[in-house]
Amino acid sequence: MDLDALIEEAEALKEQAAMDNWGVGKVLKGEELETWTSKAVIYLHRYGENDFLYEKVKENARDLTQNGYDKFLAILGVLKAQKASESQYTL
């Protein structure tokens, strides 16, 4: 599993988000969201070195039926920070 591929997959998934019935925010749900979120948790468990960020991802991965899009964005943000951190140390 590759971090760049996870981020690319998330960007494609983000395109599938739809406005909710009230026009207030975006909704993202379903099997693809659950699968991607699980991959993110597994990736950080295997390769992440920051326990705080790993716990943050795990917390956001819980119960995606409530505020799934916001939780998705939070997880994506952590993955992007992980990538930036990895890039910084490989220069």
One digit per residue, the tens of pLDDT, for the chain of length 91 reads 799 999 999 999 998 888 777 766 788 888 999 999 999 999 999 999 899 999 999 999 998 888 899 999 999 999 999 999 887 765 4
Alpha-carbon span 18 to 72, nearest angstrom = 14
Alpha-carbon span 76 to 40, nearest angstrom = 8
**Cα four-point dihedral sign 65, 33, 10, 51:** positive
- Quote the pTM value: 0.88
* CA 81 remoteness from chain centre: 11
Alpha-carbon span 34 to 42, nearest angstrom = 12
Structure tokens at 24: 């207030």
